[in-house]
Homo-oligomer: A and B are copies of this chain.
């Protein structure tokens, strides 16, 4: 299988090689237990908070974190678990819903481009431009002649972003069909969760295999050297959260953001009364 375990459970899709999503175990837990993982998550969150402050102060580069998953895959929960505690002044989350008429009147990348993070900012996409080769494909919203070229257009767009100073992290939260069943049942059983449940989710579930196929192709074709896809085993929420948090922390650490140099002439200035 042309993907590599980049340590403790995260699977990075190898650019340019055939890719088999079904070979990745959504139950993987890296041999950790829940208690240890929760402690480790708290440490990673602190690390992210500190690093993000440096990124914000440096104000020359940005980080874009993309989350994709099937319904109930855990996008909302991951974002909360990983980013609660980060200064929201430096962190922008955009949840992409059904596009408006004005958005549909533009090219498919238009609404995503408008929400990419400014220098110094961590941008989080809850769903993303990948919807246009995922849901849009599965639901036949546009013909194949339209969506197929988008893999290349997405790669070009992401290369442009990275060359202009945005590091891109793409996470696919990978759950099993049985796990989705449990999560949907939990939403049905608990009236307080009904607002998160849409009966249309059951129709979507019937398209499970078609979605897996669409995910496989999108991850395979759009895992590039500048913006690889990472598959996160996501049946266990505590493991998923830790893997995502650690990868984000390591990525910002590798970017090595620095507080701007002191401008000359400031030291020694006096402030009048």
Q: Footprint of B on A, CB under 8 Å?
A: 49, 57, 76, 79-80, 83-89, 91-93, 95, 124, 126, 177-178, 181, 184-185, 188, 191-192, 194-195, 197, 199, 202, 205-206, 259-263, 265-269, 271-273
- Nearest to A177 among chain B residues (CB) is B273
Minimum distance in angstroms from A239 CB to a CB of chain B: 21
- Which residues of B lie under 8 Å from residue A262 when comparing CB positions? 191, 194-195
Minimum distance in angstroms from A234 CB to a CB of chain B: 18
What secondary structure prevails in chain A residues at the interface with B? Answer: mixed
Asked if B194 and A263 make an inter-chain contact with CB atoms under 8 angstroms apart, the answer reads: yes
- Which residues of B lie under 8 Å from residue A184 when comparing CB positions? 271
Asked if A87 and B79 make an inter-chain contact with CB atoms under 8 angstroms apart, the answer reads: yes
- Nearest to A57 among chain B residues (CB) is B195
Minimum distance in angstroms from A48 CB to a CB of chain B: 12
- Which residues of B lie under 8 Å from residue A271 when comparing CB positions? 181, 184-185, 188, 202, 205
Show 17 residue pairs from A and B whose CB-CB distance is below 8 angstroms, ordered by the A residue. Answer: A49-B84, A80-B89, A83-B87, A84-B86, A84-B87, A89-B93, A89-B95, A89-B124, A92-B92, A181-B271, A181-B272, A188-B266, A188-B268, A188-B271, A194-B262, A194-B263, A194-B266
Asked if A93 and B84 make an inter-chain contact with CB atoms under 8 angstroms apart, the answer reads: no
- Which residues of B lie under 8 Å from residue A265 when comparing CB positions? 199
Asked if B191 and A267 make an inter-chain contact with CB atoms under 8 angstroms apart, the answer reads: yes
- Nearest to A182 among chain B residues (CB) is B271
Known: A188-B269, A266-B199. A84 touches B85 (CB 8 A): yes
